[in-house]
Amino acid sequence: MTLPCWRSTVLGTALLAVFAGTARAQVTAEQILERVDENMTIRSVHTRAIMSITYREGDVRDLEFESWAEGEERSFLEFTSPPRDAGSRFLRVDDKMWIYLPRAARSVRIQGRMLEQGLMGSDFSYGDASENPSMVDDYDAEIEREEPFEGRPTYVLFLTGKRSGLAYPQRRIWVDAERWVPLKEERFARSGKLLKTAVLSDVRQIAGRWYPFQMDLDNALQADTRTSLRFLELEFDTDIPERVFSLRTLERGF
């Protein structure tokens, strides 16, 4: 016996909407964050990407880079173009970070107020690069509302930091209610002042998970620029040689 097509009846459409709404209502804010973490946290990854910095006058500076990351503790990034920036490298191991600039011919430890500076003059700070990708560990969450964003159903969550020292003590995120990907994020200071707004797009399914291939970042404190990050290649769960995450590689290259 063939069942009638649910899509062909008004009753079927209405029932599906009710069931979907009921299922979403049963999800807690903490469960949403857990699902986001499960989808977005990666054992290891190798990427190629372009970071585009757009200046107020309309000029655009494109920087291409290759990066490797392992868990929450280690990451390495090397810029490959344009020629004047090629060979600039960034290393993070646990809570320690360094940058190597060929023109200076030495590596520099990033700490203190340097964490607030933009990576290669972009809107992404060094502090952004040091963040723990697991939000459920660092934030308490509450569901503010449900609303569509860019044609997708989303939960809007407000996050409050559980500990001191977080780069963003408060955040508001729009989470895709079906794919568990953040589609928009507002990042706030402890005072409630808006610091940055990020929009994530071009979401694709890769290696069994949904992942955004583009991120546009607007720094509310830096009106002269805005920055876009676009992935050209993403390779998950790849084996990365131990030597990648070393000061020797940072200063001498591969």
CB 100, CB 107: distance < 8 Å: yes
DSSP per-residue letters across 68-97: EEETTTEEEEEEEESTTTTT-EEEEETTEE
The Cβ of residue 206 has, within 10 Å, a number of other Cβ atoms equal to 13
- C-alpha 169/C-alpha 171 separation (Å) is 7
- Burial label for 30, CB within 10 Å (0-12, 13-18, 19+), is middle
pLDDT value at position 6?
Answer: 29
The Cβ of residue 138 has, within 10 Å, a number of other Cβ atoms equal to 20
- C-alpha 237/C-alpha 209 separation (Å) is 12
pLDDT value at position 140?
Answer: 95
pLDDT value at position 162?
Answer: 92
pLDDT value at position 16?
Answer: 34
pLDDT value at position 23?
Answer: 44
pLDDT value at position 7?
Answer: 32
Rounded (to 5) percent helix, strand, coil in the chain? 20, 45, 30
pLDDT value at position 253?
Answer: 87
pTM, two decimal places: 0.83
Instruction: Give the pLDDT of the chain (254 residues) as one tens digit per residue.
Output: 433 332 333 333 333 333 344 445 589 999 999 999 998 888 899 999 999 999 988 899 999 999 999 987 899 999 999 999 999 999 999 889 999 999 888 899 998 888 888 888 898 888 787 666 678 889 999 999 999 999 999 999 999 999 888 889 999 999 999 999 999 999 999 999 999 999 999 999 998 899 999 999 999 988 888 999 999 999 999 999 999 999 999 999 88
Q: Which of 166, 146, 190 minimizes the C-alpha distance to 29?
A: 146
Q: Where are the domains of the chain?
A: 29-252
pLDDT value at position 167?
Answer: 86
Say which CATH topology domain 29-252 has.
outer membrane lipoprotein receptor (LolB), chain A (2.50.20)
pLDDT value at position 132?
Answer: 63
- C-alpha 223/C-alpha 124 separation (Å) is 14
